Structure 1
């Protein structure tokens, strides 16, 4: 079982903090933000991790190396700058991810989604499904949401939409018709959902998009009393 962490973005809304530090290395409650993901993936039994890089990617290499210090194996998918957006970045990393469904984790979110259960979903993903998404209730900064949900299936357009958490299971075949370059992931998911090939679930637990200094401070407050524990 492999997982990919998206870590190539610039973090514009976090400037000037991210002018000299890649967003995944921003410290939160005693460890870099990406360290929370690595600890959670290891606890879920997932030890093969692919990380894409773009902005200040060399800093990520220096900090994390090959992953052995974390009990993991890290493979790097370097994109340079500007990076390739979500879809293009995943497509670029496919040779490192293999042929089986894999977990995708957005590097700038934090959540208590049980990754072991998501890994089980990857192992049992029906052959016809190209993806499984974890959705969350819409936060104040994203009130309109992204996708609908009905009967365990993702609905591209719906009266009630939820926010994509940044966690999912993807099958490499989702990218079968793609070519190299920069492109977003969302249109691929919508197209697959129109064809009835995307399942989804709603997570009602904790979730934060660490996209601004204010939300970073909120996460620091949430985690500081429990910083010795992985989520």
Structure 2
């Protein structure tokens, strides 16, 4: 199993579709089942034993910085993007001095997943076990469409026989990119723009035959609108077999 020591949580988005909730709090602090979205990511990283977490911030940054300062666990370094948003790829490159030269994890702050009850290993440890820096530049956690709540688009990728991923073009079994990546920072070599999307790196890795996937176990949730909070809470309760608390993050 590869030891992953650092991780980044992409938390600098504006959360415009989550208004009016995000008028008073950044999206990563919107609560689902009584817990801020970003806490689900931090808990997953804690389970893997990550030593340093880097979080980029932009909208209502001081509120998120204060919340992160109180989080118990590994070292958290904040990268301030309040001057200008750098998109998903640029945000990571901006944080590379804190992430190091070895492969690291990247998580989205507005998606999370429920581990499969009774599973002997969680999803991030399965990814770390499968990541091979000799043959891979990027490994994505993927979910089937029937494993997802809140996803409004179609599929993103299809699997090839050896675990490589190719862009979904309408044929084959589509899977969703489920907001978790292990990547080698060499994927950014030669990119000079400060602002760019990770999609560019997905395509480069796929074109080189170095984009792989790990199918997740459990249930994946993405929360993009106020209405999606209740849907996520209901899906969580149904999946885990727990009663719905009746309290939504929308009012707090």
TM interval, short-chain normalised = 0.7 to 0.9
Report the equivalent of 1:190. Answer: 203
Give the alignment partner of residue 154 of structure 1, picking from 153, 156, 165.
165
| Mapping for residues 57-68 of structure 1, pairs under 5 Å | 57-65=61-69
Aligned-partner SS, 1:18:
helix
Q: Deviations over 1:23-81 (max 9, x none)?
A: 0111222221111211221122123111111111111111111x6x4122101111115
Structure 1 unaligned segments of length 5 or more: list them. none
Q: TM-score, normalised by structure 2?
A: 0.81
Aligned-partner SS, 1:70:
coil
Distance 2:6 2:36 in 1: 21
Report the alpha carbon displacement of residue 157 of structure 1 after superposing the two structures with TM: 4.4
Q: 1:180 to 1:77 in 2, by over 3 A?
A: farther
Report the alpha carbon displacement of residue 216 of structure 1 after superposing the two structures with TM: 1.3
RMSD: 2.1
Which deviates more from structure 2 when the two are superposed, residues 97-106 or residues 186-195?
186-195
Task: Please tell me whether residue 10 in structure 1 is matched to residue 8 in structure 2.
Answer: no
Task: Please tell me whether residue 210 in structure 1 is matched to residue 214 in structure 2.
Answer: no
Give the alignment partner of residue 24 of structure 1, picking from 28, 31, 44.
28
Q: TM-score, normalised by structure 1?
A: 0.88
Distance 1:204 1:31 in 2: 21
- Report the count of equivalent residues: 223
Give the alignment partner of residue 129 of structure 1, picking from 136, 146, 153.
136
Query: Does the 8 Å contact 1:55/1:81 carry over to 2?
Result: no
Give the alignment partner of residue 80 of structure 1, picking from 69, 72, 82.
82
Which deviates more from structure 2 when the two are superposed, residues 201-210 or residues 215-224?
215-224
